[in-house]
Structure 1
């Protein structure tokens, strides 16, 4: 198990662990050595004395250079960084949750319900036999319909360009609400009336995730995701097009 730690440029062990990443990057280019890659990371040629390469192997170099080098590797070569110093280059939390969804998400029970722009009149409901993915236009109102046989506590998220955004689905902008076998739409107002969502700005592919919990317990998104028998993950991929 890799222990995740924050990079500390003042820590000589941390500085030393960056060298194998430099060496691996240099090995990918027959015309470069580790110090050439270091110059690339700094954005200019560094002035250095004798035995600089040997000192780098030992972690004996400036903390300012170490900080910039770590930032550069994180931004441009994080996967390689994790191969040689996993503790200094932890996987982004959102990536871990995306991978979890691919493995554990339930598809086909979450659908869009679309509304006329001028009212809450229902004009289209995705049928049981239709594909779970859907398309909406900018400004088009919609809710989620989740098929369930008994009561569930639910929360919802929108994923756009890798970023997770919570969606209030309860009365008075509450993050969570309850659905039943008879009331399957979210978001809703306090009286159970649908309270449609609308995407006003961002075109392209979106994902919507609705978590349905039997117990009312939901995961802490600052931790690594784990499967649970009392929590279902429902995912809907939606394409947003121009109006």
Structure 2
């Protein structure tokens, strides 16, 4: 009788204790299986770099990320991590002085006009020397004291057509000199005057040679 009474007295206390144990186990299991809440990185002071980013990592045995440091945008730009980042103020490269590479238009025009004047002078000298050569040649042939040795000029020797024939050579040399003046090769532009000068020298030499023949036949 006493044993049955003791069982009835202790039985209600055992049930709530088991229920509380089961509830505590279910709460602890739910806490372990629930996802960890998002962790917000600590705020940066206003004086830090605006483009700085916080780096986080997971340590062994812990499910929450732990901040390990910050990366500054200025450091990334110096190391080449972000090529699109603009250069810092004051870090610029000075452009070359373009005034030293530019050529004055007035200077170019003056140089071209100087070359044209020289070309006109050489053309006048060449045609004049050719006329002198034609006159001496025609004079010596007309007197019978000389004959034309050039096969190209022989058909025109002894008449007035020799004055026109002797002007063909200087005209061709004038054209060649003008083309050489505007050649794309620098060394050709430097010697553009040479054909006209050689043609003038040849005509003068021929005319002087004719005069020496005239002097030799008339002592």
The two structures have a TM-score, normalised by structure 2, of 0.18
Q: Which has the higher strand share?
A: 1
Identify the structure with bigger relative contact order (alpha carbons < 8 Å, sequence gap 6+): 1
The two structures have a TM-score, normalised by structure 1, of 0.17
Q: Which has the higher helix share?
A: 2
